[in-house]
């Protein structure tokens, strides 16, 4: 498929924007967490667990984010409508951080009651809108244009005009590219002490030795070690509308346990039997996600000779 320079440039800009956003979030999380909020007054303070829903609506994108209990964990699930399609995906670390910053809402500046024409501030009928539902309290934020000579954005809360940090709104404007989960697991590989695996209806197990090596159960070959290691490297490319269930064939399913035998998580790699695309799901993804094809193919190549 040929891509025009204009399209390629737009994609490159969007990718660079996402990378910059994530980098900024890393700096914000790893630095003093309260430094950016010093001196700011919270207009409302809620726990993330009190949030019933967050909706974002603009001329090009609609987001609906709600909590969901699934796979033994608590997730924030986004339903995204834009570009003629509907996507569902769980929020990742940066997405949850973006929502948490709305739950405890601290504008950069309170500019007082709105005075004059709202259009001067980029506010009007076509303004993007964030709605926060705390069950017994509903908050609406209308988002305007950038503040001159700054990275902030004008916003309207009821009759009051405020200036918001630009990176507070950007994740919702970008949607999946900034909000979605990126890692299949929260726990590190070093914490895995036992693995159960299932391939083509046959099951086996591996146990990590004190020295770091692996012992395989009877009936399982040492090829299972390479399969387990490559499966850990699987990566999420993004979330798209998945194919019908009957088109997906499971290649491998692995379950992870810690030293005490407690379940840590799991991963399942699937393949679309019609298009040969790979899909992956885990305790964090909730829904099937597109898998990196190169890494998934390495896993598929490792299936031979496991049993």
Contact between residue 153 and residue 172 where contact means Cβ atoms under 8 Å apart: no
Residue-wise pLDDT for 43-55, tens only, equals 888 888 888 999 9
State the pLDDT at residue 40: 65
Domain count, the chain: 2
pLDDT (average), residues 179-202: 95
The answer to the question of residue 22 being in a domain is no
Kindly state whether residues 140 and 195 are assigned to the same domain.
Answer: no
Among candidates 103, 120, 99, 111, which has minimal Cα distance to 158? 111
DSSP state of 1: -
Please indicate, yes or no, if residue 143 is contained in any of the structural domains.
yes
Asked if residue 106 and residue 134 are part of one domain, the reply reads yes
Is residue 8 predicted with pLDDT exceeding 60? Answer: no
Supply the range of the domain harboring residue 251.
Answer: 189-301
pTM over the 0.85 mark = no
Whether residue 166 sits in one domain with residue 77: yes
DSSP states along 237-298: EE--PPPPGGGEEEEEEEEEE-TTS-EEEEEEEEEETTT--EEEEETTT-S-EEEPHHHHHH
Q: Do residue 91 and residue 144 come from a single domain?
A: yes
Q: Is residue 60 part of a domain?
A: yes
Q: Phi then psi for 223, rounded to 5 degrees?
A: -65, -20
- pLDDT for the residue numbered 84: 85
Contacting residues for 236 by C-beta, under 8 A, at least 6 apart: 180, 181, 182, 183, 184, 280, 285, 289, 290, 291, 292
Grade residue 263 by pLDDT with cuts at 50, 70 and 90. very high
- Is 48 among the domain residues? yes
CA atoms of 293 and 307, how far apart (whole Å)? 24
Q: Does 17 reside within a domain?
A: no
Tell me: do 147 and 196 sit in the same domain: no
Question: For residue 229, what are the CA distances in angstroms to 32, 189, 195, 302?
Answer: 35, 9, 11, 10
What is the C-alpha radius of gyration for the chain, rounded to an integer number of angstroms?
23
Is 16 domain-assigned? no
**How confident is the model over 131-147, as pLDDT tens digits?**
999 988 899 999 999 99
Does 14 score more than 60 pLDDT?
A: no
Least confident of 4-13, 100-109, 238-247, 287-296: 4-13
Which of 179, 208, 224 is the last residue in one of the domains? 179
Residue range 123-133, pLDDT digits in tens: 988 889 999 99
> Would 166 be classed as within a structural domain?
yes
Q: Is residue 151 part of a domain?
A: yes
């Amino acid at each position: 498929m040929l891509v025009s320079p204009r399209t390629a440039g737009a994609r490159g800009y969007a990718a660079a924007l996402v990378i910059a956003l994530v980098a900024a979030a890393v700096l914000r999380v790893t630095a003093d967490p309260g430094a950016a909020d010093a001196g700011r007054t919270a207009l409302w303070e809620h726990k993330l667990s009190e949030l019933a829903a967050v909706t974002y609506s603009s001329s090009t994108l609609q987001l609906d984010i709600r909590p969901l209990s699934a796979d033994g964990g608590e997730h924030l699930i986004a339903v995204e409508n834009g570009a003629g399609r509907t996507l569902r995906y769980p929020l990742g670390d940066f997405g949850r951080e973006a929502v948490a910053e709305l739950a405890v809402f601290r504008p950069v500046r309170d500019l007082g009651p709105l005075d004059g024409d709202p259009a001067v501030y980029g506010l009007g009928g076509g303004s993007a809108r964030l709605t926060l539902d705390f069950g017994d309290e509903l908050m609406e934020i209308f988002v305007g244009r950038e503040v001159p000579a700054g990275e902030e954005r004008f916003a309207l809360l009821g009759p009051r005009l405020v200036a918001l940090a630009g990176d507070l709104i950007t994740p919702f404007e970008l949607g999946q590219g900034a909000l979605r989960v990126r890692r299949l697991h929260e726990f590190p590989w070093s914490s895995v002490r036992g693995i159960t695996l299932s391939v083509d209806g046959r099951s086996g197990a591996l146990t990590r030795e004190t020295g770091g090596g692996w012992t395989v159960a009877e009936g399982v070959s040492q090829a299972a070690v390479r399969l387990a290691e490559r499966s850990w490297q699987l990566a999420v490319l993004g979330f798209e509308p998945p194919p019908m269930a009957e088109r997906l064939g499971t290649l491998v399913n692995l379950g992870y346990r810690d030293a005490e035998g407690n379940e840590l998580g799991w991963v399942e790699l699937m393949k679309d039997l019609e298009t040969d695309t790979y899909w992956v799901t885990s305790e964090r993804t909730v829904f099937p996600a597109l898998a990196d094809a190169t890494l998934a193919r390495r896993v598929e190549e490792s299936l031979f000779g496991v049993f």
